[in-house]
A = this chain, B = another copy of it.
Amino acid sequence: MRRAHHPATGELSLPEVMAALSDPLRIGLVRVLADGAERGWGELRAPVAKSTLSHHLRVLRDAGVTRTRQEGTRCFVTLRRQDLDERFPGLVGALLEAAGAENVGSGVYLAPGADSTAACP
């Protein structure tokens, strides 16, 4: 598991962020992370193969939408809400509101019983 690259706040690219947020599955991931809690990779459920899920998380990470932290063999993901709001004020909020109203990305959810406080037992 190679060290993941995270763009600095100042390096965020608007087109790249928009592209990252143009896939229903990735929108679903952002919605799941929208409460600001850190989530374990294993908590995330989506109707795709795990290699595909890894791909989508990588796209989000490379665009600077999420941050991945590694702990042992596990990964924890958070939404970079503050960084995004700093560079693109209101964008993520508008997206989340619209996605909620349209129920975009509803195929993504958290593993039943998973709790943000139990992410690191």
Contact = CB atoms under 8 A, between A and B. Distances in A.
B88 A14 contact: no
A27 interface: yes
Contacts of A23: 15
A98 B27 contact: no
A44 to B, nearest CB: 19
Grouping DSSP codes into helix (H, G, I), strand (E, B) and loop, the A interface class, with mixed when no group exceeds half, is: helix
Contacts of A16: 22
Interface magnitude class on chain A: 20 to 34
Contacts of A114: none
B98 A94 contact: no
How many copies the complex holds: the figure is 2
B104 A98 contact: no
A105 to B, nearest CB: 9
Nearest to A95: B91
A106 B104 CA distance: 31
A53 interface: no
A85 to B, nearest CB: 10
26 contacts: A14-B27, A14-B95, A14-B98, A14-B104, A15-B22, A15-B23, A15-B24, A16-B22, A18-B18, A18-B19, A18-B21, A18-B95, A19-B19, A19-B22, A22-B22, A88-B95, A88-B98, A89-B97, A90-B90, A90-B93, A90-B94, A90-B97, A91-B94, A91-B95, A93-B94, A94-B94
